[in-house]
Structure 1
Amino acid sequence: MTDGDEELAKDLGLLSALTIGVGTMIGAGIFVLPGQAAAAAGPAVALSFVIGGVISLFTALSASELGTAMPKAGGSYYYVNHALGPIFGSIAGWGNWMGLAFASAFYTLGFGEYLATFLPLPAVAIGPVSLTSFQIGALLAGVTFIGVNYVGAKETGGIQIVIVTLLVTILTLFSALGVMQADLSTLRPFFPTETGGATAVLPATGLVFVSFLGFAKITTVAEELKNPGRNLPLAVVGSVAIVTVMYAIIMVVLMGVINWRQLGPEFTTTPVLDVADVAFGAVGVAGIGVGLLTFAGLLATASSANASILASSRINFAMGRDKLITAKLNAIHPNFATPYRSIAVTGALILVFIVVGDVKRLAKAGSVLHLIVYGLLNLALLVMREADIESYQPEFRVPLYPVVPILGAVTSFGLIAFMEPIEIGLAFLFVGGGLVWYLAYARGKAEKKGILSQYILSRSEELPDVAVSAASSVQPDGGDYRVMVPLANPEREKDLITLASAIAKQRGGTVDAVHVVRVPDQTALAGAAEFADEIDSTSKELLTAAREDAGTFGVDVETHTIISHRRFEEIFDAAADHEADLVVMGWREDSHGVPGRIEGAIDELTEDLPCDFLVLRDRGFEPSKILVPTAGGPDSELSAEIARLLASEFDSEISLLHVADSQEEGEAFLSKWAADRGLEDATLRVETGDVEASIEAAASESSMLIIGATEKGLLSRLVRGTLVLDVVDDVECSVVLAERARKRGLIDRLVGK
């Protein structure tokens, strides 16, 4: 773990995780919404709960796979950010965070309502603000649960176990007595005409879906779970299954004991207590039954609020860790091992919402936000599977892939259409806010590029230009962009560092100067490290000069000496180990093993580049007039990107060259290519003659040539040579050979394009 990294204590077991989901979901569906739900669809609302459970189950399965592969704080936010990139991560993060904060205030107000039924609480007026007894109770509960979460997840999980165990016990007893008093004839007709018949089922599902937000909250604490590979899918899928069955049974019981028409908000504000009075009254303990259900209402709303506070603060923490919001929220409490600043900020928002917000409306808008996040989560799973990332190794895999995540995405997005317009509008207001926040703040700080955009850019020659352009335009341009410079020759050190530093400065990144000291195979590396200065006396001199030269650009500089039995091959290992985004290396006749590319012959056939590479054939660093030849392709993309960065730093003039069979077609191609890459101001030059001669003629008028590596395969280059190497040898200006990191199959490696 590098300095500054922080991780969360693993305090939560399976039961704690399961009760986070069950405890959150069981509250709203039974104790807050049944009257409104009955009025919306009549007896068919039981089917609405089942449909909501099935939709949730698709996403729960996807979340389980992603969670076992990436057990990180933040849950669905983290998966979306990692797979789809920070622009979608901002939408998911803000949407999830605010949605949970709204829901927390909603649940806490529900707690205040039940608390006020048996505990006299005063109404309070503070200036223009008047607080009802419900709000006073909610504020007391909110402060309590915020404090519990502040102290630690272990205490939170322990409280959840107690709450949910008592809650399930009371509801089981209530259901058993209710079934004995139920008259199932009251459920007919199942699709009453006054509610709209069967067409009311899906709108009612949209209404009650707020009851199913709890399962995804489990993934937000995945980093704190013991044995997440086993416990996460069991907790996520299990909580959805348990709660869906309970909802269906209890809704049938409610409408079997009292006709559904008398359960609506215009008749009663506490339908569960009214049914409890009948069910328990049949055995002569009506008072006890109503008391138990009042207590259960307190437990349910408390557990929902508690779990939502727990989850929302973890999303806040994860966004801070990814630099989508201030990293100061990353701080871990030295005694409690919790993200205490995240909890404090989230808690303050919840208390404000309790005081001033229309939290019921906002909570439903939060359901829309969650449906958007759930849809994105399912898309994230598809991206991770299709991108075939080596590090993606989930311990649990979704059955029936890709049917399950596709259904999860379609049903999540589709259910939004059955929400109220004002709730959809509020939700999309936050989506727009997330986009604005990313573009205005986070894009300049975020580091993660997202698997989707990397996948698109690595296959830019195969995919439509519009997809490549979109992926490029939303890439984060801030964060710790690392430019590694392997140094060997003191005479070339300054120009290499100048090139690397200019790029790092424009990207707000760091220069990582590396000197590889090679020792014979007979010398143990551990022993050689003790005599590094004696083996290679130039190392300290090289790295000191590199630090001074990079310092003139005002960029951060790191220096490393690596003792190795290899020199050239070690550069690739170091680039991967140091998580470099770009490597800038010098050109020597033996600096690469195959013509026209960066890697050696064996490496080319067995491995992909760990990052983007530049090789400088140095004939004096002079970037005033830069020439970029292009025929399209990923390496030309990198050439254009580097030219644009250098032009920003040195006010360079850029010329683009394209050699085509037709002048008209060539001009159309080059004009569009330049516009798509932000090079509209470049001089465009189209030739129709020999490619090599055209490049060399244009280079004679330039001070620097940036050219993409050849896309020919190894066999054809060994037999026929390469245009790139011929140009490098024949021109008089400095040449930068650019090669984009991308996956290539064996046929592509051997034969090329």
Structure 2
Amino acid sequence: MRRKPVERLIAEGGQGEGGRLRRSLSMWQLTMISIGATLGTGIFVVLGEAVPKAGPAVVISFVIAGLTALFSALSYAELAGTIPVSGSSYSYAYATMGELIAWICGWCLILEYGVSVAAVAVGWGQYLNELLSGTIGLTIPGWMANPPGQGGYLNIPALLVVLLAMGFLLGGAKESARANTIMVVVKIASLILFCAVAFTGIRAGNYKPFMPLGLGGVSAAGASLFFSYIGFDAASTAGEEAKNPKRDMPRAIMLSLLIVTVLYCLVALVAVGAMPWKNFGNADAALAQIMKDVTGQSFWSVLLAAGAVIAIASVVLTVMYGQTRILFSMSRDGLVPKLFAKVSPRSGTPVANTVIVSLFCGVLAAVVPLGALADATSIGTLFAFSLVNAAVIVLRRTRPDMPRSFKVAFSPITPAIGFALCLWMMGSFETITWEYFGGWMIVGVVLYFAYGMRRSQLAQEESRAARLEK
């Protein structure tokens, strides 16, 4: 239950083994990181899995998932401005609820960031196939484009995009942010283009019945689509590389969520109007298929597939960035090996950390199917978000005088609603997802008691103090 004081967390900011992280990111670059981490797989890939659950009412599912994310985003904005460090919700929990809860939160974040990279990379391969077949008539053979159990041996495209992202990240945070900004602009333009073209194919009859599977279907689709909002908190992992974190991080989090939610709802509304909802389950790259059906030409679908390839690549890049920074913070606290906090003096990046995370995510992407990954990631994220909402309430009680650059309105009611919504969304997942999550949690708790509890920085200090007293 030992806690790390907020002032100490901030004072240690940027310091790693052998070097420091560099403050080089502006507010717009932070916003682009959050949009880059969020906008992509949910609308390009997971939409095709969610529509058969909710029908045309998938638009409401997006709104429900977005509202759940909004309440948590408000809590993230307050804490990111108050405790501007790389650890995101892991560090917030360490300052408010103690080391064990912080470890559990960090373990959930490893699931959220690390495993979602793999899930996103799988979706990237689907659109790469669409792009290649539409441009040069080449289709990637199933044995090298699908994981075991789905007609293949190894998903090579998924592994490839993870390794490409690793190359960008090793170049430095500023260089990665520039590349991500270009990719974000391309992906937003691609979705606006989709809406403009697919709008001409809307048929009023496709919206009837609007809610064919009832509220239960809408809720189930909302839980799956929450995966689409994973990433808005990515800006909070850049607290030690932002130029003005107290001012810019809350703004970046809220602005990115607003832009993403508007785009999601607009694209979903147009998509279900242009294609009968029952057809979505048969389309791997649903949006590209809609473009082809509406225009009767492959050119537009190929153009969208090219945008999706770039869009999903930026998700891989920014989510991997977040994962490395969380492990950096956990390593600095002694809860994972010190290797993860070793910073290169030349690039200002944690090189070994980046390589290890990339190889882990790449192998996972190559051998595990998308569906199981997406749901397991969502439940871990919701758990971490619930802890962030709780952290706001605790910090308001324990440190009411602390200066805050952003404050959640109507606290503690607002974060309490965010906490309850996260638990409600978690309850919508199937038993198998809870079994995956439970297994992950058991492994995490065992690792903490076997390694982190005794090796943590605070534990070492307590041990030294006890020896001095003797």
Same fold, judged at TM 0.5 (above): yes
TM-superposed CA distance for 1:327, in Å, is 2.1
Compared CA separation, residues 247 and 394, structure 1 to 2 (3 A): same
Match of 1:259 in 2: 276
TM-superposed CA distance for 1:123, in Å, is 6.8
TM-superposed CA distance for 1:254, in Å, is 0.7
Question: 2:126–2:285: 8 Å Cα contact kept in structure 1?
Answer: no
Question: 1:116–1:134: 8 Å Cα contact kept in structure 2?
Answer: no
TM-superposed CA distance for 1:154, in Å, is 0.9
Question: 1:123–1:136: 8 Å Cα contact kept in structure 2?
Answer: no
TM-superposed CA distance for 1:436, in Å, is 2.1
Match of 1:322 in 2: 333
1:393 aligns with 2:403: yes
1:607-618 matches, within 5 Å, as none
Q: Deviations over 1:151-191 (max 9, x none)?
A: 21111111111011011112112212322331233212221
Compared CA separation, residues 133 and 442, structure 1 to 2 (3 A): closer
SS in 2 for 1:480: helix
User: In 2, Cα distance between the equivalents of 1:47 and 1:92?
Assistant: 29
Q: Which amino acid aligns with 2:82?
A: A
Match of 1:491 in 2: none
Question: 1:93–1:315: 8 Å Cα contact kept in structure 2?
Answer: yes
Match of 1:73 in 2: 86
Compared CA separation, residues 203 and 240, structure 1 to 2 (3 A): same
Compared CA separation, residues 56 and 146, structure 1 to 2 (3 A): same
Question: 1:353–1:359: 8 Å Cα contact kept in structure 2?
Answer: no
1:272 aligns with 2:287: yes
Deviates further, 296-305 or 53-62: 296-305
1:509 aligns with 2:464: yes
Match of 2:224 in 1: 207
TM-superposed CA distance for 1:230, in Å, is 2.3
Match of 2:122 in 1: 109
CA RMSD of aligned residues (A): 2.4
1:425 aligns with 2:425: no
User: In 2, Cα distance between the equivalents of 1:358 and 1:275?
Assistant: 24
1:121-140 matches, within 5 Å, as 121=140, 132=152, 135-140=155-160
Match of 1:407 in 2: 417
Match of 1:158 in 2: 178
SS in 2 for 1:397: coil
User: In 2, Cα distance between the equivalents of 1:280 and 1:236?
Assistant: 37
TM-superposed CA distance for 1:208, in Å, is 1.0
User: In 2, Cα distance between the equivalents of 1:355 and 1:442?
Assistant: 30
Compared CA separation, residues 19 and 184, structure 1 to 2 (3 A): farther
Compared CA separation, residues 134 and 352, structure 1 to 2 (3 A): closer
Considering fraction of residues, name the structure with more helix.
2
User: In 1, Cα distance between the equivalents of 2:46 and 2:148?
Assistant: 27
TM-score (norm 2): 0.90
User: In 2, Cα distance between the equivalents of 1:276 and 1:416?
Assistant: 34
User: In 1, Cα distance between the equivalents of 2:142 and 2:303?
Assistant: 26
Q: Deviations over 1:544-591 (max 9, x none)?
A: xxxxxxxxxxx5x7xxxxxxxxxxxxxxxxxxxxxxxxxx7xxxxxxx
Q: Which amino acid aligns with 1:259?
A: P
Question: 2:122–2:369: 8 Å Cα contact kept in structure 1?
Answer: no
TM-superposed CA distance for 1:278, in Å, is 3.6
Q: Which has the higher contact order (CA 8 A, sep 6+)?
A: 2
Question: 2:153–2:367: 8 Å Cα contact kept in structure 1?
Answer: no
User: In 2, Cα distance between the equivalents of 1:510 and 1:186?
Assistant: 70
1:170-249 matches, within 5 Å, as 170-192=190-212, 195=213, 197-249=214-266
Match of 1:479 in 2: 460
Match of 1:342 in 2: 353
1:168 aligns with 2:179: no
Question: 2:126–2:284: 8 Å Cα contact kept in structure 1?
Answer: no
TM-superposed CA distance for 1:364, in Å, is 1.4
TM-superposed CA distance for 1:375, in Å, is 0.2
TM-superposed CA distance for 1:116, in Å, is 2.6
User: In 1, Cα distance between the equivalents of 2:109 and 2:246?
Assistant: 24
Match of 2:43 in 1: 30
Q: Which amino acid aligns with 1:246?
A: L
TM-superposed CA distance for 1:60, in Å, is 0.5
Structure 1: 5+ residue stretches without partners: 449-477, 482-507, 512-554, 558-583, 585-645, 647-753
TM-superposed CA distance for 1:27, in Å, is 1.1
TM-superposed CA distance for 1:368, in Å, is 0.4
Question: 1:24–1:300: 8 Å Cα contact kept in structure 2?
Answer: no
Question: 1:109–1:134: 8 Å Cα contact kept in structure 2?
Answer: no
**Count of paired positions:** 448
User: In 2, Cα distance between the equivalents of 1:374 and 1:15?
Assistant: 24
Q: Which amino acid aligns with 2:333?
A: D
User: In 2, Cα distance between the equivalents of 1:330 and 1:25?
Assistant: 26
Q: Deviations over 1:377-433 (max 9, x none)?
A: 11011111100265x322111112111110111111221010111111111222222
User: In 2, Cα distance between the equivalents of 1:118 and 1:215?
Assistant: 28
Q: Which amino acid aligns with 1:176?
A: A
Candidates 351, 359, 365, aligned match of 1:354: 365
Structure 2: 5+ residue stretches without partners: 1-10, 133-137
Q: Deviations over 1:716-745 (max 9, x none)?
A: xxxxxxxxxxxxxxxxxxxxxxxxxxxxxx
Considering fraction of residues, name the structure with more strand.
1
Q: Which amino acid aligns with 1:188?
A: K
Question: 1:97–1:313: 8 Å Cα contact kept in structure 2?
Answer: no
Question: 1:116–1:133: 8 Å Cα contact kept in structure 2?
Answer: no
TM-superposed CA distance for 1:360, in Å, is 3.1
Compared CA separation, residues 440 and 386, structure 1 to 2 (3 A): same
SS in 1 for 2:211: coil
Q: Which amino acid aligns with 1:219?
A: S
TM-superposed CA distance for 1:111, in Å, is 1.4
Q: Deviations over 1:53-104 (max 9, x none)?
A: 1110111110011011111012111111221111011111111113311110
User: In 1, Cα distance between the equivalents of 2:155 and 2:290?
Assistant: 26
Match of 1:52 in 2: 65
SS in 1 for 2:157: helix
Compared CA separation, residues 150 and 388, structure 1 to 2 (3 A): same
Match of 2:7 in 1: none
TM-superposed CA distance for 1:39, in Å, is 0.3
Question: 1:105–1:351: 8 Å Cα contact kept in structure 2?
Answer: yes
Q: Deviations over 1:458-496 (max 9, x none)?
A: xxxxxxxxxxxxxxxxxxxx2213xxxxxxxxxxxxxxx
Compared CA separation, residues 4 and 129, structure 1 to 2 (3 A): closer
1:61 aligns with 2:74: yes
1:423-572 matches, within 5 Å, as 423-448=433-458, 478-481=459-462, 508-510=463-465
SS in 2 for 1:324: coil
1:13 aligns with 2:23: no
TM-superposed CA distance for 1:229, in Å, is 2.1
1:363 aligns with 2:370: no
Q: Which amino acid aligns with 2:170?
A: Y
Question: 1:53–1:241: 8 Å Cα contact kept in structure 2?
Answer: no
Compared CA separation, residues 371 and 335, structure 1 to 2 (3 A): same
1:296 aligns with 2:307: yes
Compared CA separation, residues 366 and 4, structure 1 to 2 (3 A): closer
Compared CA separation, residues 129 and 245, structure 1 to 2 (3 A): closer
SS in 1 for 2:461: coil
SS in 2 for 1:32: helix
